[in-house]
Amino acid sequence: MRFTQFLRLLAIAGPALAALEVDGDACTVTPLGTGTNGKDPDDTPQILSAFKQCGKNGRIVLTEGLFHIGQVMKTTDLANVSIEIHGTLKWSADIQYWLRNSLSVTYAGRSTAWMLGGNDIKLLGFGKALFDGNGQLWYDQNRNQGNQNGRPISLTLWHARNVLVDGITWRQVQFWHTFVAYSQNITMTNLDMNATSNSQWKTVNTDGVDTWNSKDVVIANWTVTCGDDCISMKGNSTNISVSNVTCRESGCACIGSIGSQPSQPDYVENVYFDNVTCKHSSNAAWIKTYSGTGHVRNITFANFRISEVDQPIYVTPCIYSANGCDSSRLAISDVRWVNITGTSRYNVAAGIHCSAAAPCKGFSMENVNITPAAGGSAKWLCSNIQNQGSSGIPCTGTCPADWPQQLKGNR
């Protein structure tokens, strides 16, 4: 032991039993504990202090126990660090604080509670770390509206390179679980997420992950229950591999939405989804764009098992707005669905409407077998697919331009 320094941070409210222990290049944080009169001490300062002292060429250990997170965390200058979390991080119930202070991620007005960035970072949870977002408060106050400004994403990887995130469990997340932005070579494995409302209000926009302006991302071994897109690639995502994922109550595997701002092209390329299970979800293997600019190219959806999915396969060039459904020039090409089996909730397996101005090219389906849960055969609706006849898509009719993403019954 080269040198040991005990740094006791006295909490204003409460018996200060906690300590940030700095031992060489390792910082160990223990929780401040539970306060009186419902006022729990805030663990954020000592956690941020650990990042400051050990965030470069170091190790940050959060011990077992309950850490109260009362403030935003911006830890973006990390280098060669291992962050090892054994306990629970619980984000505070002070909605007004978060609305005012969440950190902007510059995407669509969104913001985050924790922004993590830098190079060569391991964020390890050992299957023990629990991130509790206190989300029920957000679900109740948002009343089925999902995009309140300031409602924070739990964890954002921001200008991060060479990162491993592994073994973390999320419960009742505030908003999206994770966001990967301006990042490269990111591996996120063995993650368990569940946002389930216990009131009449839904968990709208509790996405599992969204990637944006990022490349070389590996996602594997996830179990997600959430109220929106489960795994989603937004603009400028390339070389993404997703495997061994189970999604419930969600949009499951999704490209988009992209192309919302015509002045900014969005490109999504080289995405491979493999071995995905979609249960009781709105969609399963789908693509949504606005009629903006950019392209979607070389996407594979392979080995999907689906059950009771409202509309398993869906492609639209005019999501949410039904604007420019046939004039969009955002090209969608080389999309393959292979080994997709299971049941649709209604009598529609696929709704694919491509823009007349830029028909979809290189679409193919192999061994795709979707039947309505109630029996009978499913409709496969197709419009403006180049070489439709040889695509393997078992089209049964045309797909109207404004065909909806959300189905509520047989059509």
Ligand X SMILES: *[C@@H]1O[C@H](CO)[C@@H](O)[C@H](O)[C@H]1NC(C)=O
Q: Residues interacting with ligand X, by CB under 6 A?
A: 25, 57-59, 80, 162-164, 185, 187, 189-190, 194, 196, 213, 216, 218, 220-221, 225, 235-236, 239, 243-244, 246, 248, 264-267, 270, 272, 275, 277, 298, 300, 302-303, 338-339, 367
Q: How far is the CB of 383 from ligand X (least distance, A)?
A: 25
Whether the CA torsion 246, 105, 272, 78 is positive or negative: it is negative
Q: How far is the CB of 410 from ligand X (least distance, A)?
A: 28
For ligand X, the closer CB: 41 or 235 = 235
For ligand X, the closer CB: 340 or 381 = 340
For ligand X, the closer CB: 25 or 326 = 25
Q: Rounded CA gap, 37 and 39, in Å?
A: 5
- The contacts of residue 321 (CB under 8 Å, 6+ apart) are 290
- Judged by phi (left if over 0) then psi (alpha if -120 to 50, else beta), residue 156 lies in beta
SS3 of 140, please? helix
Q: Cβ atoms within 10 A of the Cβ of 374, count?
A: 11
For ligand X, the closer CB: 242 or 399 = 242
Q: Rounded CA gap, 154 and 75, in Å?
A: 14
Q: Rounded CA gap, 38 and 159, in Å?
A: 37
Q: Rounded CA gap, 9 and 6, in Å?
A: 10
Query: Are 324 and 297 contacting, i.e. CB atoms less than 8 angstroms apart?
Result: no
Q: How far is the CB of 265 from ligand X (least distance, A)?
A: 5
Q: How far is the CB of 96 from ligand X (least distance, A)?
A: 27
The secondary structure element, H or E, covering residue 333 is strand 331-344
b/e per residue 311-326 (b: at least 16 CB within 10 A): bbbbbbbbbeeeebbb
Q: How far is the CB of 350 from ligand X (least distance, A)?
A: 18
For ligand X, the closer CB: 57 or 141 = 57
For ligand X, the closer CB: 74 or 161 = 161
For ligand X, the closer CB: 94 or 216 = 216
Q: How far is the CB of 395 from ligand X (least distance, A)?
A: 21
- The contacts of residue 263 (CB under 8 Å, 6+ apart) are none
Q: How far is the CB of 171 from ligand X (least distance, A)?
A: 8
